[in-house]
């Protein structure tokens, strides 16, 4: 097991470690990273074999869609058809919400095998630094073998042995509660999590949008 890296300033993740993680992702490897919810596993959507390796190490059903984590709401919304509900829910990004929406022409088909894409914008300094370093988006899933509980700490993530690189959390721990998943149209709650159904439905009722 690699030596545990030093703690990092949450506002300034170690550039060398991030650069190494980017190289691993670009070569088809898998990286474990912290988020504000639980720990995640990431692959680069454009790396040869990257998505397949992510599915393999997790032991995931290859027909089950993965999510796409994005550096900001603008990047995420570009991957889905323009929808008032999506634009409204984007007010909760960055944050612990995953929105499943109809994929746009900008979304690679491999990221939306059933025509829908799960979109997430994490609110964690290390996750966002990683996403910025790779160009804005990664294919992601929770850091665990399918059927097991997701990693809630850096130690948990390392213990899984699933990733080629484990980024440190920089002193910003995950909350340990998964993101809420909402499916559009209709705003059906697929998975309850950090954002309550009441908050989501109230936001949609107000029709609040970011400018």
pLDDT in tens, the chain (211 residues): 233 333 444 444 467 889 999 999 999 999 999 999 999 999 999 998 999 999 999 998 888 889 999 999 999 999 999 889 999 999 999 999 999 999 999 998 889 988 999 999 999 999 999 999 999 999 999 999 999 999 999 999 999 999 999 999 988 999 999 999 999 999 999 999 999 999 999 999 987 544 4
> How many Å apart are CA 126 and CA 27, to the nearest integer?
20
Contacts of 75 (CB under 8 A, 6+ apart): 121, 136, 137
| Per-residue pLDDT at 14 | 67
> How many Å apart are CA 117 and CA 57, to the nearest integer?
21
pTM exceeds cut of 0.75: yes
Q: Do residues 52 and 185 touch, judged by C-beta distance below 8 A?
A: no
| Per-residue pLDDT at 126 | 94
Give the DSSP H or E segment for 159.
helix 154-160
| Per-residue pLDDT at 144 | 96
Spell out the domains of the chain, with CATH numbers in brackets: 15-206 (3.90.870.10)
Phi, psi angle pair for 165, to nearest 5°: -140, 135
102: which strand partners?
116
- The CA-atom distances, in angstroms, between 194 and each of 37, 38, 95, 99, 182 are 8, 11, 9, 13, 12
Q: Coil, helix or strand for 18?
A: helix
């Amino acid at each position: 097991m690699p030596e545990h890296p030093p703690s990092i300033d949450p506002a300034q993740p170690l550039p060398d470690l991030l650069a190494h993680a980017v190289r691993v992702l670009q070569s088809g490897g898998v990286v474990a990273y912290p988020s504000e919810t639980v720990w995640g596993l990431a692959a680069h959507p454009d790396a040869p074999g990257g998505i397949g390796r992510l599915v393999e190490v997790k032991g995931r059903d290859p027909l089950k869609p993965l999510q796409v984590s994005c550096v900001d709401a603008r990047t995420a919304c570009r991957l889905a058809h323009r929808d008032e509900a999506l634009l409204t829910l984007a007010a909760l990004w960055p944050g612990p919400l995953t929105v499943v929406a109809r994929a746009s022409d900008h979304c690679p088909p491999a990221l939306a095998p059933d025509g829908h894409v799960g979109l997430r914008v994490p609110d964690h300094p290390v996750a966002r630094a990683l996403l910025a370093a790779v160009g804005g988006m990664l294919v992601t899933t929770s850091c665990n073998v399918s059927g097991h509980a997701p990693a809630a700490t850096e130690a948990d993530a390392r213990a899984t042995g699933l990733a080629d690189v484990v980024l440190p959390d920089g002193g910003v721990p995950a909350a340990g509660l998964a993101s809420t998943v909402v499916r559009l149209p209709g705003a059906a709650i697929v998975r309850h999590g950090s954002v309550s159904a009441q908050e989501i439905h109230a936001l949609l009722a107000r029709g609040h949008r970011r400018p």
